[in-house]
Structure formats: C-alpha cells, structure tokens
Amino acid sequence: MGKWLFSQGVGRMAPYTGTIGALVDELRPGYARVLLKDRKKVRNHLHSVHAIALMNLGEVATGLALMSAMPDDARGILAGLSMDYHKKARGWLTAECSCEVPETSERREYEIRGEITDSAGDLVATATARWLIGPRQAKD
C-alpha cells in the first residue's frame, strides 16, 4: 500500500496530475519511475492512451525526479513541456526519468527528459520538460 498511498498523496498535492491515476513505482534523488494502467478513463477515440494523459505522465515523472533532489530552500515550477509521440500507447506504460541533482536553490532552468515505454519495452513517447528552480519565497 505504500506506493499506492504515496501516489494518492501526489495526486492530492497536484489534483490535475491525479486525474490519470498514475502509480509512483520508484523514487530517489534524480530518478523517478511512474506507471500508468491503460483504461477507458485515459483513452482517446483510437482506443489508445490519450496524448494529454501521456503528457501528464511525462510531466509527473520529470517533476518527481527533479523535485526529489532539490535543496530544502528551493521550489520549482514547470516552464515548458513538449512531447514526441512515437507510437500508439496501449497496455501498462512506464515513464522513467533520470536527471541532474540541483545542488543549490539558485534560479536556473533545468531541461529534463523522460521516456515512456509500453510493456514490450517499446518507446511510445518522449517528454522534454523545462523546470525553473529557484529560492523559496518567505511566504511559501
């Protein structure tokens, strides 16, 4: 229940992210693996996982990998997100992201790449996210 409970917490902190029902399978500083079950709720008219559900999955994987490594006095916000779709996404999907670990809260953009594969290991989409990291404000 630990992974499921943690994933529910992520969805509560970022309600839109929670709409796809992703499961955080592994998380450590600079790395995240997030799973998504193919089901009617995330499908499009072509009976594959919707492009925006994949984008949401890519965002959460890149964000968790980066945010899990940030210094305590830092905060981050997504500054840009692009996706390349390589094939229709069906079945269980895995989003993985490895990234540089921020050492300071100095204002800086990080370009983070995440890959989404299907259960056969085929690449279905690639997310490129620009995260702006900076010092936490006094009111945060």
Q: What's the confidence (pLDDT) of residue 140?
A: 56
Q: How many CB atoms lie within 10 A of CB 12?
A: 10
Q: What's the confidence (pLDDT) of residue 65?
A: 95
Q: What's the confidence (pLDDT) of residue 78?
A: 94
Distance CA 93, CA 99 (A): 20
Q: For 52-80, how does the pLDDT look when each residue is reduced to its tens digit (9 = 90+)? A: 999 999 999 999 999 888 898 999 999 99
Give me the chain's average pLDDT, please: 89
Q: What is the mean pLDDT of each run of 10 residues along the chain (140 residues)?
A: 61 68 92 95 93 96 92 93 97 96 91 97 98 83
According to the CATH classification, is domain 2-135 in 3.10.129.10? yes
